[in-house]
Structure 1
Amino acid sequence: MPMGSRIIGGVLAIALFTQLSACGTLFFPDRRGQIEGRIDPLVAGLNAVGILFYVIPGLIAFGIDFATGAIYLPEGETYSVAPETLQPAIGADGRIDTAKLRLIIEQQTGRDLPLDDPRLIQHSGDLEQLASYGLRPAA
């Protein structure tokens, strides 16, 4: 067998293996057994990448995830917070109260974020960014 064929075969085998393993069943084994719910965008996106590059492995990944229920988010778990609910964390001077923000995020998502971590990088937004979320500056 020529060397070029071995390299192409090896690359193809690795690519197919990575796409078959890119499904929620392997990433989230604790979700197996669910019947319905909201579809996890992360798992659906990974499976869609499989369809985009390799049709058959992507379809297999989707089939496995739907059959096992691993594509569904756990009951009551969300990953987003509506911008309107963050309004109480913004003070009259326009500064953000991290304690209030942490409490709101924990109530909405059920996850405790370390907002007092020194590695946290804070960016300041501009008026256009606030307007895109339907917020207006208080200061």
Structure 2
Amino acid sequence: MKLFTIILLLASMLTSLAGCGTLLHPERKGQTGGRIDPGIVILDGIGLLFFFIPGAIAFAVDFSYGTIYLPGGRRASLNDEQLKQLSAGEQIDITVLESIIKQEAGHDITFGFQNIQITQLGSIEQLPKALIIPAH
């Protein structure tokens, strides 16, 4: 009985100190953001409820390694060189855009329309105004 108690205590401390996301999803290490996995939050919260310090450490470990985030939250933007390649003057080179998307996302894409509009915004607050389609 004493050995079982020691093993149970060590296992619970190891789980709490390592972080549930780190143990359950080691492939998620290195993510920098995205949607938070509610299952990992619940498991870390249970550790926080029963053992405050190890639970807080579990949250810290999962956030620092990025294992608390759900996969698939990638974001991308173009660098200056890609922007120069893409827009030579006023017109957008669709073939360059397709090749950049293929390179960054790994998917072939073909634009079948010519009504692409690119707007440079000074800040994120300008986005709702830029999305409003003017009446013709």
TM-score, scaled to structure 2: 0.45
TM-score, scaled to structure 1: 0.44
